[in-house]
A and B are shown apart, each in its own frame.
Chain A
Amino acid sequence: DTEVTQTPKHLVMGMTNKKSLKCEQHMGHRAMYWYKQKAKKPPELMFVYSYEKLSINESVPSRFSPECPNSSLLNLHLHALQPEDSALYLCASSPSRSHTKDGYTFGSGTRLTVV
């Protein structure tokens, strides 16, 4: 299995809702990442997990809460989002933080719309 699977593919949520994005990989990768991408812009790093521990938080608002329950799974919990948070949310993985020589493997993303 050489894929990163993200669910759901599309999500529409209200500003008072709580929802979660899920990311799963079975490649044995120990580093996992959340990126946010607005239309016609490059991906921007949000969080880095290394061996299930949060190692980088790029000053992301607390309405985004990441979680790594095990080495294969990464969640992003969403609460009280704003319309400007609407974007494509991408998950990626690599063998480790320092082992990126084969590049990241990205999921196909969750298209989030906040109404």
Chain B
Amino acid sequence: SQQGEEDPQALSIQEGENATMNCSYKTSINNLQWYRQNSGRGLVHLILIRSNEREKHSGRLRVTLDTSKKSSSLLITASRAADTASYFCATDESSSNTGKLIFGQGTTLQVKP
């Protein structure tokens, strides 16, 4: 079952603008991860935020986590055409150490040059 809801489903911006996508989940988690997928390819791990963290940065990426609202956001600053891809959040449930990641529905980002 997929517990993550992401919005927007699709986002189109101009190069240089910032892109924000949101993720909500339902259960308690150990961590929340964000992945990027270029069309028809494998997923690339971008960033992981633990349940006891509120914000994390990596290069042009900024992730926030609000465990009280069971939500997270991914901000990509100064976007580039190469950022065009689908972005998925994925949660690692805390109820068991199964390694099971549950993915959100994804946001398709188009960055226009």
Report A's interface with B, CB cutoff 8 A. Answer: 4, 6, 31, 33, 41-45, 48, 50, 55-56, 88, 90, 92, 94, 96-98, 100-109, 111
Contact = CB atoms under 8 A, between A and B. Distances in A.
B43 A106 contact: yes
Given A98-B97, A103-B33, A106-B43, 20 more contacts: A4-B42, A41-B105, A41-B106, A42-B2, A42-B104, A43-B103, A48-B100, A55-B98, A56-B100, A88-B40, A94-B99, A96-B99, A97-B97, A97-B99, A100-B48, A101-B31, A103-B48, A104-B43, A105-B45, A106-B42
B101 A104 contact: yes
A33 B43 CA distance: 13
The DSSP consensus for interface residues of chain B is strand
Interface in B1-50: 2, 4, 30-31, 33, 35, 40-45, 48, 50
A43 B33 CA distance: 14
B100 A42 contact: no
B45 to A, nearest CB: 3
B98 A48 contact: yes
